[in-house]
Amino acid sequence: MEIIRTVARLKEALDTLRSGGNVKVGLVPTMGALHAGHMSLVERSCAENDVTVVSVFVNPTQFNNPDDLRTYPRTEEADCALLEKAGVDIAFVPSVEEVYPEPDTRIFDLGAVAEVMEGAMRPGHFNGVAQVVSRLFELSEADRAYFGEKDYQQIAVIRRMAQVMGLQRPQIVACPIQRADDGLALSSRNVRLSDAQRAEAPLIHRTLCHSVDMAADGATVAEVKAYVLDTLSGHPMMKPEYYEIVHPLTLQPVDSWAEGATGCVTVWMGDVRLIDNIKYPAKN
C-alpha cells in the first residue's frame, strides 16, 4: 500500500495503475479513526474493484461546530496499518491545502433532501460534504464509491450532488450499518463516550428495534415517533435532537407508513452526538 499525501502523486499513481486498461477503481472516502464499519466498506471495495483508494481526511468545511472539528479523533498511524492489512492499494492522506488549494466557495443545489434533519441542525454541513466528496470523485475518477448507511441522509445528498453535477461515475454504493455486539451503531465518535455513557448508548438501537415491533403491531407513525422520543428523552444521559420517520428517497417526513420508511435519530450523550436509523416494514 502506498500512502499518498499530494494530489499530483495520487494522479500519477492512478495513471500507472490504470495503464493496464479496464481497471476498476473503488473509492472509500473517510475521515479516519477507522473502525469495523469503515472496514466493511473497504472490504467490499477491495472485493469489487481492481484498485481501492481510501481517503483519510478530516474535512474542515463540513464541520459547523469548531469544537467537533477540534476533538474529532485522529489516528492516522493505526488507520494506515488497518488499511494495509485489508489490502488497500492507496491511502490518500492529504493536507487541507492539497484538497483545497483555494477556499472552496461552491454552493451546491442539494434540494429538499439536504434541508431536513442533519441539514436543518447543522447548517452548511452537507454543502461541505458535497465539496469534499465531489473533489475526491474528481481526483480519483473512481468507478464506484462506498458510503455507510449510518449516515443515511448523507448518501441521499451525495446522490443528489452527483445528479446535479451530471456525473456518470462513480456508482454510489450504500453499505449496511455495522453494529457492536450490543447494537450500538459503530461510529468514530463512540470513543469519546465515557464508560458509563457507552454502557447506556445501546438503548438507542434497542428503542428503534422496539419501535419497529410496535409498527408491525399496528402503531401509527405519530405513536412510534412519540414512543422513541419519550423513551430516549426519559433517560437521564440522553438528549434526543430529533426523530423523524422519512421517505427513503425524498427524506421528507411521512405521516403514514410508506414503503421503505426510515426512522432517523440523533441523540446527544454529554457533548457526543450519535446518529442511527432503522427501516420500518411496509404496510398495506
CB of 151 closer than 8 Å to CB of 275: yes
* Identity of the residue, 192 or 225, whose beta carbon is nearer to ligand PAF in the bound complex: 192
Q: Supply the minimum distance, in Å, between the C-beta of residue 2 and ligand PAF.
A: 20
The residue assigned the cell 461541505 is 128
| Amino acid found at 215 | A
Q: Supply the minimum distance, in Å, between the C-beta of residue 169 and ligand PAF.
A: 17
- Alpha carbons 43 and 246: distance in angstroms, whole number: 30
For the annotated catalytic residues, the residue numbers are: 38
Q: Supply the minimum distance, in Å, between the C-beta of residue 216 and ligand PAF.
A: 31
* Identity of the residue, 60 or 111, whose beta carbon is nearer to ligand PAF in the bound complex: 60
* Identity of the residue, 54 or 228, whose beta carbon is nearer to ligand PAF in the bound complex: 54
* Identity of the residue, 29 or 240, whose beta carbon is nearer to ligand PAF in the bound complex: 29
* Identity of the residue, 59 or 190, whose beta carbon is nearer to ligand PAF in the bound complex: 59
Q: Supply the minimum distance, in Å, between the C-beta of residue 219 and ligand PAF.
A: 32
Q: What would the DSSP string read from start to end of the chain?
A: -EEE--HHHHHHHHHHHHTTSS--EEEEEE-S---HHHHHHHHHHHHH-SEEEEEE---GGG-S-HHHHHHS---HHHHHHHHHHHT-SEEE---HHHH-SS---------GGGTSTHHHHSTTHHHHHHHHHHHHHHHH--SEEEEEGGGHHHHHHHHHHHHHTT---PEEEEEPPPB-TTSPBP-GGGGGS-HHHHHHTTHHHHHHHHHHHHHHTT--HHHHHHHHHHHHHTSTT-EEEEEEEE-TTT--B-SS--TT-EEEEEEEETTEEEEEEEEPPP--
Q: Supply the minimum distance, in Å, between the C-beta of residue 10 and ligand PAF.
A: 16
Binding footprint of ligand PAF on the chain (CB under 6 A): 29-31, 59, 62, 129, 132-133, 151, 154
